Structure 1
């Protein structure tokens, strides 16, 4: 097995990861605000469908909650690929990570309008994961070669 030296540009990867964590925290705050505005008590994860159909605030809460949960579902994959790929390709990983974040911002901004179809343009940001997947494979290959 060979070794890899962490490149000095890896700081950009870590800055992207930190920005991503801050964005994730901001989504938690956004959900809390939407929950309060809709009057959905804890421990309920969502407003009932019948209530959300009648009350736009409850619908917006449900959409905001779902956008946050979707982001949480992808976050482990995203952050793993970002950190692994960045070892061999820090600029590609950082660029791909920034593209994912921009896509997430567009996705969440559209979804939280209460009209789920508006999230679709932001879903294109998921394609940026492919660059970090390739970079991660290259990192593993270099370590195992």
Structure 2
């Protein structure tokens, strides 16, 4: 049987995970602001396809950036929490990098789509966290 002792540095992992909750709230505010500018009332998730104006396009981009965040956040946070069990500082740094990259993606993509490329590095952090989490599982099974 494996005993897991949690390093006090795991607190950094928890803070990195918690930062994603605040970013999710900021995504909601960001999308709401673009919704207001586009005058796109609820319950419509996106501006209608026949709207081709810039405000509608930016609202749709903000909404899609938020949806993309929500699609990736659970996997990233789970990988962060699992990877942090053995590698708390490295994982916390990658988690912080993920959050910063997601913020950059939100800001850029909300401005029309192309600007989000600067935040695309979140994939590097997310893959790194998944690799560390996988390593932890293999190491436990093989007794490393």
Q: CA deviation at 1:111?
A: 0.6
Matched, 1:13 2:13: yes
For structure 2, the 5+ residue unaligned runs are none
Displaced runs of 4+ in structure 1, greater than 2 A? 141-145
Aligned residues between the structures: 142
Cα distance per residue 1:95-119 (max 9 Å; x no partner): 11111112111111111112x1211
- Please tell me whether the aligned partners of residues 46 and 61 of structure 1 are also in contact (alpha carbons under 8 angstroms): yes
Task: Give, in whole Å, the separation in 2 of the partners of 1:126 and 1:11.
Answer: 23
Q: CA deviation at 1:87?
A: 0.7
Instruction: Report the aligned-residue RMSD.
Output: 1.3
- Equivalent residues in 2 for 1:109-120, closer than 5 Å: 109-114=107-112, 116-120=113-117
> What is the aligned partner in structure 1 of residue 57 from structure 2?
59
Q: Which residue, out of 105, 108, 116, partners 1:107?
A: 105
Residue 94 of structure 2: which of 72, 96, 108 is its match?
96
Cα distance in 2 between the residues matched to 1:41 and 1:93: 40
Using the size of structure 1 for normalisation, the TM-score is 0.91
Instruction: Give distance in 2, aligned partners of 1:31 and 1:125.
Output: 20
TM-score normalized by structure 2? 0.92
- Larger relative helix fraction: 1
| Structure 1 Cα separation of the partners of residues 85 and 95 of structure 2 | 13
Cα distance, 1:128 vs. partner?
Answer: 1.0
Structure 1: runs of 5+ lacking an equivalent: none
Distance 1:7 1:135 in 2: 16
Given that 1:88 and 1:138 are in contact with CA atoms closer than 8 Å, whether structure 2 keeps it comes out as: no
